[in-house]
C-alpha cells in the first residue's frame, strides 16, 4: 500500500471522481466539484495506490499553521475506498496527515470506524430511512404526531412543486433563517450554497422541492442532494405560515412516497438537537453514528 499526500494542484480530478463513483462508501460530498465549491479549492488529499482510496483534507490557512476543518454543507468526509480491505488503513491514513496541519476537526463517514491515541475521537449522529420498502410500510413507522402533521397539511390544500433554480431557496434562507444563523453563516456562505445548488442541479445531482398554498404562495423549500443512492436533506427552510401548516412534513412525506420501493437511503443530515432528532425519528429515521476526529 502506498499513501501519497497531494496538494490540490496535483490531484487528478478525473481519477479522484472515478474513485468516488466506485467507492463502497461513496458520498456526494467527496466529489472534486463539491469540494472545490464548499472548500473554495483549498483542499489537499491523501491518495492510496493510485486512487483506489482517497481522503480529502479541506484546510484553512492560519497565521503560522494550517488547520483541517469541516466546510459548511459537508456533513461527512474521511476515507473513501473501492476495496473493502483498505478500510482497515484508516488509522494509518490519519497518522500520515502532514504535521503542517497542526489543528484538525474533521467529520469522517458512517463506514469509518475510528479509535486512536493519536487524535481525539467523538461521535455524531445522523438519521437514515431505508426506502426499499413499500410506502405503506414506511408510513406505518411514522410517529403519531408526524402522521397528524401530514394530514393537517393535506387538509389545508397544500401542494408540492419542483423548482429549477436555487433563487427562491436562497431568498427564503435570507428571509427566514437570517436571525437563526447570525454569527454562524454569512453572505459568503450563502453565495457558496447558491453555487453548490446550481452546480448540483446542472449535474442532475439533486432537486429542489417546494410547498405552496391554494394561492400558489411558497411556504417551504428544500434541496435534496441525490447521488450515490443517497437522498440527502441538505438545506430546508419554511416560512412562518409554512411552519404553522406543517408544510415541511408534507414535503418530506412526498419524497418518501416518491422514492419508496427503491434502493435509496434518505439521510436527514443530523441532528444532535433533541427536538430535530425526535422529528426525524418520527418519520422512521434510524440513528447512524459517524466519528469526528480532533487534534
Same domain, 134 and 244: yes
**Does pTM top 0.85 for this prediction?**
yes
* Confidence (pLDDT) at 273: 86
* Confidence (pLDDT) at 45: 98
Return the closest-CA partner of residue 279 out of 179, 149, 124.
149
Q: Is residue 58 part of a domain?
A: yes
Same domain, 98 and 163: no
> What is the spatial distance between Cα 22 and Cα 2, in angstroms, rounded to a whole number?
19
CB 250 within 8 A of CB 153: yes
Domain boundary among 65, 99, 118: 118
3-class SS of residue 177: coil
Domain boundary among 118, 149, 178: 118
- Give the chain's domain count: 2
Q: Where are the beta strands (DSSP E) in 108-173?
A: 120-130, 159-163
Segments of the chain scoring below 50 in pLDDT: none
* Confidence (pLDDT) at 186: 84
> What is the spatial distance between Cα 266 and Cα 253, in angstroms, rounded to a whole number?
11
Same domain, 50 and 151: no
Return the closest-CA partner of residue 166 out of 144, 198, 142.
198
* Confidence (pLDDT) at 133: 97
* Confidence (pLDDT) at 34: 98
Q: Cell for 142?
A: 411514522
Q: Is residue 295 part of a domain?
A: no
Same domain, 108 and 158: no
The parent domain of residue 161 ranges over 127-288
How far is CA 46 from each of CA 4, 54, 187, 228, 294, rounded to the nearest angstrom? 5, 6, 31, 22, 17
Q: Cell for 199?
A: 452546480
Q: Which residues have a Cβ under 8 Å from the Cβ of 203 and sit 6 or more positions away? A: 33
3-class SS of residue 143: coil
* Confidence (pLDDT) at 267: 98
> What is the spatial distance between Cα 245 and Cα 226, in angstroms, rounded to a whole number?
27
* Confidence (pLDDT) at 286: 97
| Run of H or E residues at 291 | strand 286-294
Same domain, 50 and 134: no
Amino acid at each position: 500500500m502506498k499513501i501519497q499526500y497531494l496538494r490540490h494542484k496535483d490531484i487528478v480530478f478525473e481519477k479522484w471522481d472515478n474513485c468516488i463513483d466506485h467507492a463502497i462508501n461513496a458520498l456526494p460530498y467527496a466529489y472534486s466539484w463539491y469540494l472545490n465549491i464548499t472548500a473554495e479549492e483549498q483542499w489537499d488529499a491523501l491518495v492510496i495506490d493510485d486512487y483506489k482510496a482517497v481522503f480529502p483534507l479541506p484546510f484553512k490557512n492560519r497565521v503560522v499553521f494550517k488547520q483541517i476543518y469541516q466546510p459548511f454543507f459537508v456533513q461527512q468526509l474521511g476515507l473513501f475506498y473501492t476495496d473493502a480491505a483498505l478500510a482497515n488503513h484508516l488509522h494509518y491514513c490519519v497518522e500520515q496527515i502532514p504535521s503542517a496541519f497542526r489543528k484538525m476537526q474533521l467529520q469522517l463517514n458512517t463506514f469509518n470506524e475510528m479509535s486512536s491515541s493519536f487524535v481525539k475521537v467523538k461521535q455524531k449522529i445522523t438519521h437514515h430511512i431505508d426506502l426499499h420498502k413499500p410506502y405503506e410500510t414506511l408510513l406505518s413507522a411514522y410517529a403519531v404526531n408526524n402522521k397528524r402533521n401530514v394530514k393537517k397539511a393535506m387538509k389545508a390544500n397544500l401542494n408540492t412543486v419542483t423548482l429549477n433554480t436555487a433563487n427562491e431557496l436562497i431568498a427564503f434562507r435570507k428571509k427566514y433563517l437570517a436571525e437563526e444563523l447570525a454569527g454562524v453563516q454569512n453572505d459568503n456562505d450563502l453565495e457558496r450554497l447558491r453555487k453548490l445548488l446550481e452546480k448540483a442541479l446542472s449535474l442532475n445531482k439533486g432537486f429542489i422541492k417546494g410547498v405552496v398554498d391554494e394561492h400558489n404562495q411558497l411556504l417551504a423549500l428544500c434541496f435534496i442532494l441525490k447521488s450515490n443512492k443517497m437522498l440527502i436533506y441538505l438545506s430546508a427552510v419554511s416560512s412562518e405560515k409554512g411552519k404553522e401548516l406543517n408544510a415541511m412534513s408534507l414535503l418530506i412525506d412526498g419524497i418518501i412516497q416518491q422514492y419508496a420501493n427503491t434502493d435509496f437511503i434518505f439521510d436527514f443530515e443530523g441532528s444532535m438537537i433533541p427536538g430535530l432528532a425526535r422529528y426525524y425519528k418520527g418519520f422512521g429515521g434510524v440513528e447512524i453514528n459517524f466519528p469526528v476526529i480532533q487534534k
